[in-house]
Amino acid sequence: MTILRTRPAAWLGALAALASLATLSIASTAAASDPLATPEAGAWPSDGRDYSAQRYSPLTQIDASNVSKLGLAWYDDLDTYRGVEATPIYSDGVLYNILPFNVTIAYNAKTGERLWTYDPQVPREMARYACCEPVSRGLAMSGNKVIIATLDGRLIALDKTSGKPIWSTETFDKTFPYSITGAPRVFGDKVVVGQSGGDFGVRGFVAAFDIETGAKKWKFFLTPGNPADGPDGEASDSVMSWVRETWFGNKYWELGGGANPWDSIAYDPELNLVYVGTGNASPHSRFYRSENKGDNLFVCSIVALKADTGEYAWHYQMNPGEEWDWTCTASIISADLQIDGKPRKVLMQAPKNGFFYVLDRKTGAFISAAAHVIQNWNNGFDDKGRPIVNEAVRYGFDPKLVMPGPGGAHNWFPMAYSPRTGLAYFPAYQSGFVYALQPDWKPQPMRSNSGWGGFSGPVLQQRMKLMEEANKVEKAWLTAWDPVKQQAAWQVELPRHGNGGVFVTASDLVFEGTTKQTFAAFDARTGKTLWEFPTQSAPVAGGITYMLDGEQYVAVNAGWGGGAAQIEQSSGTELPRAKARLLVFKLGGTKQLPPLAATAAVPPPPPLRASEAQIQAGAQLFAQTCAVCHGQNAMGGVKDLRHMTADTHSKFNQIVLEGLYLDKGMASFADLLKKEDVDAIHNYLIARANEDWGRSE
């Protein structure tokens, strides 16, 4: 009887193993025939170049011996001062690019001639719901289609030859302040897309759509909804009962919880898993969100889903109970590493929290992590890889200095990995920020929600004193990181936060845009600067390289803007700059950029007439409603409001309440603000302008 019972079990096990091998073989065969999995050497058809997202090109024509001869082949003026964050894509002689508000352009990749332009007519008021400008980080391609994801939530397939729409699909409920700023990804026969909006109070999710029709295939929510509504009828239903156990109180769902996958989404075609990097919680403060307790899954995590169905496979949470505006939406890179003498299939990520992580990409098992900047939130990891949080960084009404700050030790700027050097390359930022709770905070739908306070009065003075400590250690680098040794191989110090995305070539060159307003090439093994080109604007986007008619080209968008620019501008370090441009280089290129236009003088502000109480009321309203676009303490941002002209001051109420500048992306705020609120904000701005006017910036 024992034998009879064992043999069927053995046969079943053998059949299961054979089925598993067959599935793996089919997946491997499909991957080998998929041009997005194995693109031609001279192509760059997707955001990360291939499914590994390593941003590694096998091209070698440009190398250390001749990179100094790299010159401008052609450029295109993009007619915007908004941030241009997109990685272009290239295939079959055509370069595709996407601008703010999702204006999409196809170019002859050799000459720069515009072949077609498609404007999806995104309502300009949508800029109000884009925390860090109405940017797009890229587009996707499949067969005859170019795929764009618009700020207002449409997924659109364009004919790659004509630029005409083939299909269009709505991806989110527009009664909530969702937006899309990340690139869509094509994985096999599916387009996978996330969305933004966590700061404004939405429920994060990721969804997949059919590449041929745009029909929804599956959807996975990343935080629990209102329990009274019951199941969602989506792929996430099977896990939502235990996800909900990590949230507390009876109002956590009011602002959606956040966890928006606003940038990096990756794929392993052999495992057939989609990896989703999730964002910050909403509201930011766990005190107001979840009774100051709970892990709050799946905020700041990587969640692996089965590509065919969207079903949950595994997760790893970098920051349980996240409340510092840290996100895990940075580049997710696949690689095969030798760790402890054994081959491991891994995922690598360096999210905002200052650590570099290596995980098993099949199971999500924690392999290792190490800090690459000064940090004070983590006391180590337990034997399962769960972080041991330093409870001293859990802020209350008294300010706490936490490192890194909300700008992140590594934000969305694309990371690269070279299988030749075994190193990952990314822009790093060492910083701190002072957090405190806002007394009596209430949820505020349709505007930025943090629960943070301390922007006026005595608490502001404490905040400023603590920020002096953070400012002493602030630094920025291009970092080359050894993921096996978990240590820096080299670092190149750069002047300030916001250095751009990275790619690397088989000739051991690393390319990156810098906040010196240059585009530069570095030796991938030593960090030595080999070439630098003045771009008249800091290129924050990820660049690419491609081969056309026997010549290797390098392309990058130079358009200083987005969240990093707002942080830098808010410190008063804005530089004169040109409008955004797409720059394309080749060996022997001879094109020249026109001279940079002169910068107008800052006009004197009007006299201050308001009382201190009015100014403090305006400071709090500004922090709640305006700072997300116009900078903390009214410094910098999309438009530095300390520098308004007399004409702008005279039209201030029309701009804020009537939408006078709607065409520029400045919508009316009449739904949130009364006239007396706007007057208070205006008085605060006049006070700030008088405080700072005439100072050297």
**Whether 56 contacts 504, CB under 8 Å:** yes
524 sits in the region (left: phi over 0; alpha: psi -120 to 50; else beta) called alpha
3-state secondary structure (DSSP) of residue 339: strand
Q: Residue 425 is encoded by which pair of tokens?
A: 């390359």
CA dihedral sign, ordered 55, 87, 351, 321: negative
Would residue 268 show up in a list of annotated catalytic residues for this protein? Answer: no
Query: What is the CA angle 601-607-610, rounded to 5?
Result: 135
Q: Which of 383, 323, 381, 393 is nearest to 355 (CA)?
A: 381
**Whether 146 contacts 96, CB under 8 Å:** yes
Residue 517 CB contacts under 8 Å (≥ 6 apart), including other chains: 534, 535, 536, 537, 538, 560, 575, 577
Q: Residue 481 is encoded by which pair of tokens?
A: 């990181």
- Cis check for the bond before 298: say yes or no (omega within 30 of 0): yes
3-state helix vs strand vs coil in the chain, percent to 5: 20, 30, 50
**Whether 139 contacts 177, CB under 8 Å:** no
**Whether 63 contacts 521, CB under 8 Å:** no
3-state secondary structure (DSSP) of residue 612: helix
**Whether 393 contacts 324, CB under 8 Å:** yes
- How many CA atoms does the CB half-sphere of 638 hold within 13 Å? 22
Q: Is 663 exposed, middle or buried (0-12, 13-18, 19+ CB in 10 A)?
A: exposed
Q: Which residues pair with 306 in a beta bridge?
A: 273
Residue 512 CB contacts under 8 Å (≥ 6 apart), including other chains: 425, 427, 478, 499, 500, 501, 502, 519, 520, 522, 543
Residue 600 CB contacts under 8 Å (≥ 6 apart), including other chains: none
What phi and psi values does residue 83 have, to the nearest 5 degrees?
-70, 135
- Cis check for the bond before 283: say yes or no (omega within 30 of 0): yes
CA dihedral sign, ordered 256, 562, 428, 512: positive
3-state secondary structure (DSSP) of residue 155: strand
- From CA 15, how far away is CA 21, in angstroms rounded? 10
Catalytic residue among 325, 523, 640, 692: 325
Residue 230's identity, in one-letter code, is G
CA dihedral sign, ordered 253, 258, 259, 260: positive
Q: Which of 497, 331, 328, 332 is nearest to 428 (CA)?
A: 497
* Distances, alpha carbon 59 to alpha carbons 230, 285, 425, 551, in Å: 53, 47, 18, 10
Task: Kindly list the catalytic residues.
Answer: 325
